[in-house]
């Protein structure tokens, strides 16, 4: 058994020596190839490694700059979106206010037209010598003031005097 162990031990040592020799040859061959490549290209491996590190730093800086610009762009887009929404809501409020003003104007114009028609009827009645009928509403009340003067005579907007 000792003999078998000794043989195996010798084989293992021989295998390790062979691997060591192969490693040493590969190391020398790699060194020789590196020197040949350095001579052909004019740059050393150390210079290439430094250049690679510089390129990595530059790439990182460019990436950070790109991310910063993207963030700035997103913030600008968000501000524009918010401003657009504010302007749209202000526009909607103005549109609604205009609509209300137009409705109020329409009501006032309608009331003015109605009053003008009533005034014309009162004037026609006055021209015929008739007293305004009870159905003429507001104008009748203005005509029957206690002072005995008509709305037009007491400083109203009309220029025609109505008879009592």
88-128 tens-digit pLDDT: 999 999 999 999 999 999 999 999 999 999 999 999 988 88
Residue range 10-59, pLDDT digits in tens? 999 999 999 999 999 999 999 999 888 888 888 888 888 999 999 999 99
Q: Structural domain of residue 37, as residue ranges?
A: 1-42
Residue 69 in any domain: the answer is no
Residue 35 in any domain: the answer is yes
In whole angstroms, give the CA distance from residue 161 to residue 55: 100
In whole angstroms, give the CA distance from residue 110 to residue 54: 83
Residue 30 in any domain: the answer is yes
Contacts of 20 (CB under 8 A, 6+ apart): none
C-alpha dihedral sign at 13, 17, 22, 26: positive
Angle subtended at Cα 151 by Cα 139 and Cα 109, rounded to the nearest 5 degrees: 55
Residue 23 in any domain: the answer is yes
73 has pLDDT over 80: yes
Residue 150 in any domain: the answer is no
How many domains does one find in the chain?
A: 1
Residue 102 in any domain: the answer is no
Residue 31 in any domain: the answer is yes
């Amino acid at each position: 058994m000792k003999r078998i162990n000794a043989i195996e031990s010798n084989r293992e040592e021989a295998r390790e020596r062979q691997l060591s020799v192969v490693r040493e040859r590969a190391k020398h061959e790699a060194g020789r190839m590196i020197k040949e490549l350095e001579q052909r290209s004019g740059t050393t491996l150390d210079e290439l490694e430094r250049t690679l590190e510089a390129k990595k730093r530059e790439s990182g800086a460019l990436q950070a700059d790109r991310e910063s610009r993207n963030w700035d762009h997103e913030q600008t887009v968000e501000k524009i979106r918010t401003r657009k929404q504010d302007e749209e809501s202000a526009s909607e409020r103005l549109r609604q206010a205009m609509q209300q003003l137009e409705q109020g104007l329409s009501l006032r114009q309608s009331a003015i037209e109605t009053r003008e028609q009533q005034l014309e009827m009162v004037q026609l009645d006055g021209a015929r010598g008739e007293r305004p009928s009870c159905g003429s509403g507001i104008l009748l009340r203005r005509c029957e003031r206690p002072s005995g003067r008509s709305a037009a005579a007491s400083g109203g907007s009309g220029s025609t005097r109505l008879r009592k």
